[in-house]
Amino acid sequence: MNISTHTLSNGCRVLIRPTPYKQILSIVATVEWGGRDDPPELAGRTNLMSRLLTQGTETRSAFQIAEAMESIGGSIDAECGHDWISVETQTVEADWRQAVDLLSDCLFHSVFEPAEFEKERALVQSEIRRRDDHKFAFAYRHFQRLFYRGHPYAITTEGEEETLAALERDSLLDLYSQAIRPDRMLLVAVGNVPESEFLGELEKCFPQPSSSPALARIAPSLEPGAGRGETQDIPRNFEQGFVIVGYPGPLIGTDEGAALRLACAVLGEGMSSRLFSRLRDRDHLAYQVGASLAPRQLASHLLLFIGTGPDTVDQACEGMIREAQGIVAEPPSPEELDRALQYVLGKFLVGRQTNGSLAHFMSAYELLGLGWEWGEIFPDRIRAVKPSDIQDAARAFIQNPAIAIVRPTRPAE
């Protein structure tokens, strides 16, 4: 693989990965600053700032940005996670100059027009309201608050309606000038671009960093997982209940991380996993049941989830806890382990077919501190996991869960 790495004169790191025969170009620019860096009273500030990056620059209105991108059949989107901000473009390779021009315009020349600020804030507030109309998102928001109590991961990156209402445009401008700097940026391009011309264009379009000091991230004083051992019951007028059982997870790049990744697959990934074959196929408790391991910079978490009828909520919750603890009491058989291994590797292979997903994965590996090469190493790391490693990781992490239960209330007559 011919991945080349570069550092521009302004400090921006650049990775270029050619993909023969494809003719699609995906560029992901990331900045290591995210929702977890917002003080609680300003929750949602980084997300709102990110969204406004594509809503008007010194020379283009929001409409002109959309029109310029869509006229070449491309897209530009900004996203804010807990750990980093990303702005992504997708175009045909031949249009790489326009992609770089628009991307740099949005990143470095945004103006945060007052009218756009007001409009975008109202839209995010509306999304927060709609988010709570969806069962999984509603349950997950409550789980996050419980599990991460006191930690910056406790609050969703969008913030809350009230914290958004308190935000001022000046505060976003301050954050913009300090956080979106080329010397804090990683740019990953996947596609066939003429390398030296591409780098030359980046040098031309991306500015030099300002001399003011960059924002420093403050490490949280609390370890995640303060809500472990607690259950939160949330009544809501849904037809179906929803349960999330969560455990802390190790950092992704560690041996324990690889072992828990396989434990997660044994438990709840795929139709032959324990949760699916037992709680769905055998006990008929659910349509939607599974497990996931969320990678984070500071700590991951292992989630087990199920949507179930109003009368089987407790049975489903107990079933999930039993199966999670069962990883220690009933170690995976060689066949089960092999199935989990193949499933993880298959998903990994299939999930990396698009240039956009490759660019995202490479950026994430860098920001998680694993290095972009992690994608090449990962299969061997997973293959090296022994059954005893899974037992050890399960003993260390799968105990004392935090539980969020959305319990259906009968509709009022």
Q: Which residues bind another protein (CB under 8 A)?
A: 20-24, 62-63, 66-67, 70-74, 90, 92, 94, 119, 122-123, 126-127, 129-130, 132-135, 236-240, 270-272, 276-277, 280-281, 284-288, 307-309, 335, 338-339, 342-347, 349-350, 353-355
Q: Using the minimum distance from each CB to another protein, give the nearer residue, 24 or 214.
A: 24
Shortest CB 280 distance to another protein, Å:
6
Nearest residue (CB) to another protein, 349 versus 377: 349
Smallest gap from residue 242 Cβ to another protein (A): 9
Residue 235's alpha-carbon distances to 192, 303, 346, in angstroms, are: 53, 21, 39
Helix extents (H) in 206-353:
255-268, 274, 313-329, 334-350
Residue 15's identity, in one-letter code, is L
Question: Closer to another protein at the Cβ: 140 or 397?
Answer: 140
Q: Residue 248 CB, nearest distance to another protein (Å)? A: 27
Q: How far is the CB of 380 from another protein (least distance, A)?
A: 15
Question: What gap in Å lies between CA 79 and CA 400, rounded to an integer?
Answer: 33
Rounded to a whole number of angstroms, the minimum distance from the CB of residue 66 to another protein is 4
Query: In this structure, are strands 241-249 and 300-308 parallel, antiparallel, or unpaired?
Result: antiparallel
**Surface-to-core class of residue 359, CB atoms within 10 Å of its CB (0-12 exposed, 13-18 middle, 19+ buried):** buried
Dist CA 256 CA 244 (whole Å): 22
| Nearest Cα residue to 356 out of 12, 104, 107, 88 | 88
Distance CA 319, CA 342 (A): 25
Nearer to another protein, 119 or 228 (CB): 119
* Closest distance to another protein from the beta carbon of 338 (Å): 7
Residues 6+ apart with CB under 8 A from 185: 11, 12, 13, 29, 30, 31, 107
Q: Least distance from C-beta 335 to another protein, angstroms?
A: 8
Residue 298: both structure tokens together: 């500071």
Q: How far is the CB of 258 from another protein (least distance, A)?
A: 16
Task: Select 8 or 24, whichever has its Cβ closest to another protein.
Answer: 24
The 10 Å Cβ neighbour count of residue 400 is: 11
59 or 126: CB nearest another protein: 126
Q: Which is nearer to another protein, 126 or 210 (CB)?
A: 126
Least distance from C-beta 105 to another protein, angstroms? 16
261 with 389: CB under 8 angstroms?
A: no
Q: For 330-368, where are the alpha helices, taking DSSP H only?
A: 334-350, 355-367
Which is nearer to another protein, 249 or 270 (by Cβ)? 270
Q: 54, 62 in Cβ contact below 8 A?
A: yes
Q: Which is nearer to another protein, 129 or 329 (CB)?
A: 129
Crossing angle for the helix pair 169-179 and 114-131, nearest 10 degrees? 90
